[in-house]
Amino acid sequence: MKKTTLVIASAILCCNTLFSQTAGQKKILFDNTHAETAGSGDWCIDSDIQNMTWYASGQTGTGGSYYHANPQQYPTPTQTAVTSATAETYWNGALSYWATDCVKKGYWVETLPYTGHITYGATNTQDLSKYDVFIVDEPNILFTTAEKTALMNFVKNGGSLFMISDHTGSDRNNDGYDSPMIWNDLITNNSVQNNALGFKFELQNFSDASGTQTSGGNPNVSTLSTDSITKGSFGTVSRVKWSNGTCMTMTPSQNADVKAHAWKNGKGQTDTAVVCVTSRYGCGKVAAIGDSSPPDDGTGNTAGGSITLYNGYTGDVGQNHRDLLMNMTIWLAEGSKNCTTTGINSVIENNELTIYPNPANGKVEINFANNAESNAVFSLMNINGQIVNAAQTHQKNNNQDVFTIDTTTLEAGIYYCKVQVADKIGIKKLVVLNN
């Protein structure tokens, strides 16, 4: 009996360690719902299981005869055991080095498995509202209308999206769509706001090296001291190398926040031939590169030796790609400061205003510190700044105004709770789930 009890206790401890994260820890989600591991791709952070395939119909199959990686939600062994000395081979996936770097930086990483769903503001255990950064490395399946709406609203309301494309013709599951086409469909054909990011992907296939060094050709990597992508906290980027990738064209008239950080060699620093770009939309951020080779660490699934792997993360141009990707990840994870949404002039992350539970699908309690004699006034707004009616009660308890609202009649989505007394205002985001 003692032995059995110890085994059970150990299992419980292992599970708690595997699935626990620190409160306030930045969370990064890597997608695997759009055939990122189809063909010779292995764009995942952990591929302990290789038992699935991707069909052109969009369906998947699992079983012993299939060889594509099937990453699960949590990489194993547990990320809570990762230290500064942990080797990137701790996990087995083409993006494992990048993921372990993220964990060493203090982030929490997960995968959205092939059985998962891309949603925002829904009763989904991996809803995007629960994450800070969503990384999609070379999608091979078109996003549905609902998924495009979720992605755009995720960014609009403060989330960060990392878009990684590959070259034209890189249709790994043979469904007629490659990653630049799929990303352009999201950018130009969504239900929220078309062409809101200020750039699009070109349908090209080229190999190229750009750099600030003489050996790398013309200085087509930004050398601005204020550039947080090429001069970021993780390291300075002086060269990049594209191995069958594509580029982007920027349209600043669509979005003045779009910025280029690297260009094709010999093309000059213009709005065209951009290989690395960042932008902002609403309260969120977007980063994009035109090649899936830089994140590849060369240690993923070889399908028994039939797939040749390459190390672009630290092999092609030394540490440059590693520095580039981590600088971009850090920039995305930082989120937007002094964010404003349409119709809402100031979103104040006021510690004197608390909301529980959040996300919610029923009763919500809002507490606001108020030392004044007069009562505070509460209002609920949608993302456009319009007042939304919701049943509410109010109590004044000592130096606290306590409001209780019922969200069951509200549509799923993002709302803002505003509490004001005299010239003191607190505004915080509330996520309402499907009821």
Whether the pLDDT of residue 5 is over 60: the answer is no
The dihedral over CA atoms of 149, 154, 157, 160, expressed in degrees to the nearest 10, equals -140
Instruction: For residue range 190-231, list pLDDT tens digits in order.
Output: 999 999 999 999 999 999 987 765 444 556 899 999 999 999
Q: What is the mean pLDDT of residues 166-178?
A: 95
Mean pLDDT check: name the lowest of 14-28, 145-159, 161-175, 378-392.
14-28
Whether the pLDDT of residue 34 is over 80: the answer is yes
Tell me where in the chain the CATH 3.40.50.880 domain(s) lie: 24-334
Architecture of domain 24-334: 3-Layer(aba) Sandwich (3.40)
DSSP conformation letters of 19-68: H---TT--EEEEE-SS-TTSTT---SS--S-EEEEE-TTS-EEESTT--E
Q: What is the pLDDT of residue 11?
A: 38
Bin 366: left if φ > 0, else alpha if -120 < ψ < 50, else beta: beta
Q: Which long-range contacts (CB under 8 A, 24 or more apart) does 212-217 make?
A: 212/238, 212/239, 213/238, 213/239, 216/265, 216/317, 217/265, 217/266
Q: What is the pLDDT of residue 435?
A: 57
Q: What is the mean pLDDT of residues 80-103?
A: 96
C-alpha distances in Å from residue 62, one per residue of 56, 300, 305: 15, 19, 20
Q: What is the mean pLDDT of residues 114-130?
A: 93
- At the topology level, CATH places domain 353-432 in Immunoglobulin-like (2.60.40)
Tell me where in the chain the CATH 2.60.40.10 domain(s) lie: 353-432
Instruction: For residue range 127-153, list pLDDT tens digits in order.
Output: 999 999 999 999 999 999 999 999 998
Instruction: For residue range 43-81, list pLDDT tens digits in order.
Output: 999 988 888 888 887 767 777 677 889 999 999 999 999
Whether the pLDDT of residue 376 is over 60: the answer is yes
Q: What are phi and psi of 208, to 5 degrees?
A: -165, 150
The two tokens of residue 141 are: 């399946």
More confident residue, 39 or 13: 39
Partners of 253 in the β-ladder: none
